[in-house]
Amino acid sequence: MIRILQAEIIKAFARPRSYIGLASIVALVVLIDTSFYFTGKEYIDLLFQSFDQVFSLEGNIINGNLITFIILQTLIIQLPLLVALVTGDLISGESALGTLRYALTKPISRFKFITYKWITAMLYVLAILILLGVFAYLLSLVIFGLGDLLVLNADGLVVIRSAELFWRFMAAFVFAFISLTTVASLSLMFSAFSDNSIGPIVLTMVVIIVFTVISSFEMSFFDPVMPLLFTNHMHLWRRLFSDPIPMTEIMQSAGVLLLHSAVFFGITQYHFNRKDIFQ
């Protein structure tokens, strides 16, 4: 098992495109940290302008926790694209390259083959999130130091004590992992249906965009499908920074996302096990 996984990781991570996502995360984190270092105060003043008449804010508002939260909030929207860029290519890329037929003439069952591809996709998601988490959190803490986090929610302004933030960030990353697992499973499913590299990546993005657009229409016509759109559940990580945390709602959303992943994985297996390999 380890040998196959090693081979899959070598294949996936030896491609330059695998590093586009990782490199862009590093670049964006550095860019955001730098911009906050020089012009962060202006931005925060603008953000909390409406509260000036109600109360005054004292202490270290621009701190590592706030910057990490902002980075997370900003980049989490781009991550599905970065994930799909690699995971959407895992099967179809092999098909386009012609290497799929070689792998499948070796004594590995198609079920195992897809399972290893799926595990590789998860490892890539994990790599992206660890890089984002570790890099964004550590760099921001080093530059801006610790402090309480001010979060503007629909309910208002929430202040979360510094001591409580580490586990909340960890939980947010776990939730982001579950969300991106769904995206990775979706693109892997499209990848199993396709023989070219671009199709699954584009399709994944189209699905995410369409679902997000539908979600933004607050019309009763879409009400029946709203709970089924996985994109509606992906932003629930933000609720981990509420007070109190709506754990039931978060767990339900995590469950819906995991269910989507399982369905996408099942469809991938079903289709791929019956697929004639021509490429």
Partner 1 sequence: MSNQILKVEGLEKFYGKFHALKGVDMEVNAGEIFGLLGPNGAGKTTMLRMLVGLISPSNGSVTYFGNLQLNELGKVLPRIGCIIEEPKFYPYLSGLTNLKVARSYFPNKIPDQRVHEMIELVGLKGRENDRVSTYSQGMRQRLGIAQAMLNNPDLIFLDEPTNGLDPKGIIELRQLIIRLKEEFGKTVIISSHILSEIEEMADSMAIINKGVCVSQGSVAELLAKNTVTVSVETDDQDAAQTALAALNYTAKKDQQTLVFQSELDEIPRIVEKLMSTGRKIYRLDHKRKLEDYFLKLTAA
Q: Which residues bind partner 1 (CB under 8 A)?
A: 3-4, 6-7, 10-11, 14-16, 97-99, 101-109, 274, 276-278
- Residue for token pair 């697929």: 275
Residue 277 Cβ vs partner 1, minimum distance, rounded to whole Å: 4
Q: What tokens does 125 get? A: 């998601």
Residue 75 Cβ vs partner 1, minimum distance, rounded to whole Å: 27
Residue 170 Cβ vs partner 1, minimum distance, rounded to whole Å: 34
Nearer to partner 1, 12 or 165 (CB): 12
Nearer to partner 1, 43 or 111 (CB): 111
Nearer to partner 1, 16 or 224 (CB): 16
Cα atoms found within 13 Å of the Cα of residue 141, Cβ hemisphere only = 12
List helix spans (H) across the chain.
2-13, 16-47, 64-75, 79-87, 92-97, 100-104, 110-144, 162-193, 198-216, 231-234, 247-274
DSSP class of residue 275?
-
- Residue for token pair 């099942």: 266
Nearer to partner 1, 78 or 273 (CB): 273
Residue 96 Cβ vs partner 1, minimum distance, rounded to whole Å: 10
What 3-state class would DSSP assign to 125? helix
